[in-house]
């Protein structure tokens, strides 16, 4: 996956405007800006027993297909609105995955897949993703920068070694305590804490090297 280099809200908004003017190439470029971000959110919502059977990339590609197909229905004017629209499509696709792989195996158990629950979980994952970032300050322009930073952060995470990425996802995106992270990664709690410290330092060093922080 290619990381996004210094994409700003203006760049994304420009691509959005050109896509709405009829450029399918710009629409494709716009969608790819959010590939790693959406994969990260999918990963955070997939239960552990589903991860061996369900590819986050497949869910994201299905989301992109539907977004491309239904783009004429999008009525927003900003990249922020576009991301929110993509997340709604993603939620519906996650819902279908849960219905197919979980409910189909438990036909005798009546369980409702709640779109609202999945949407809330995605928002919580987004908030935890923000928590990894340095505080940009209270200004409205800083808030806009933070939303774009979430996308840059997801791209940077995609470039980390897998164990660094895993510990950050489990700790910050899934919001698990260190002892549960240790159990998932089959390491001691102390080893996981040291791994997490190295991972956070590497992540922030990478962001700093790109002039992001």
Query: In the chain, what are the domain boundaries?
Result: 9-159, 161-213
Token pair 């783009």: residue: 71
Q: How far apart are CA 202 and CA 183, in angstroms?
A: 23
Highest mean pLDDT of the ranges 47-56, 123-132, 176-185: 176-185
**Predicted pLDDT of residue 159:** 92
Question: What's the whole-number mean pLDDT along residues 176-189?
Answer: 95
141 and 129 Cβ atoms separated by less than 8 Å = no
DSSP three-state, residue 204: helix
Residue 3 has pLDDT above 50, yes or no: no
**Predicted pLDDT of residue 86:** 95
**Tokens in use for 141?**
């322009």
State the pLDDT confidence band at 129, using cuts at 50, 70 and 90.
confident
**Predicted pLDDT of residue 46:** 76
Q: How far apart are CA 56 and CA 43, in angstroms?
A: 6
**Predicted pLDDT of residue 151:** 84
* Fold classification of 161-213 (topology level): Arc Repressor Mutant, subunit A (1.10.10)
Q: Taking all residues of the chain, what is their mean pLDDT, rounded to a whole number?
A: 81
* pTM of the full structure: 0.78
pLDDT above 70 covers a percentage of the chain that reads 77
**Nearest alpha-carbon partner for 169 in 37, 60, 50, 55:** 37
**Nearest alpha-carbon partner for 123 in 168, 175, 158:** 175
State the pLDDT confidence band at 74, using cuts at 50, 70 and 90.
very high
């Amino acid at each position: 996956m290619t990381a996004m280099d210094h994409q700003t809200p203006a760049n994304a908004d420009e691509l959005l405007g050109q896509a709405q003017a009829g450029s399918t190439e710009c629409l494709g470029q716009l969608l790819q800006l959010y590939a790693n971000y959406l994969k990260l959110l999918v990963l955070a919502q997939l239960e552990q027993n589903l991860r061996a059977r369900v590819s986050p990339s497949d869910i994201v590609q299905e989301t992109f297909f539907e977004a491309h197909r239904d783009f004429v229905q999008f009525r927003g004017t900003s990249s922020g609105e576009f991301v929110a629209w993509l997340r709604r499509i993603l939620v519906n696709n996650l819902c279908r995955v849960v219905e197919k792989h979980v409910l189909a195996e438990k036909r005798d158990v009546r369980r409702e897949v709640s779109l609202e629950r999945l949407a809330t979980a995605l928002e919580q994952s987004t908030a935890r993703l923000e928590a990894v970032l340095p505080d940009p300050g209270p200004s409205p322009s800083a808030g806009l920068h933070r939303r774009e930073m979430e996308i840059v952060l997801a791209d940077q995470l995609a470039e980390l070694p897998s164990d660094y990425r895993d510990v950050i996802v489990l700790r910050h995106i899934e919001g698990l305590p260190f002892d549960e992270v240790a159990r998932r990664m089959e390491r001691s709690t102390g080893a996981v804490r040291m791994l997490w410290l190295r991972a956070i330092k590497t992540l922030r060093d990478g962001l700093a090297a790109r002039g992001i922080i």
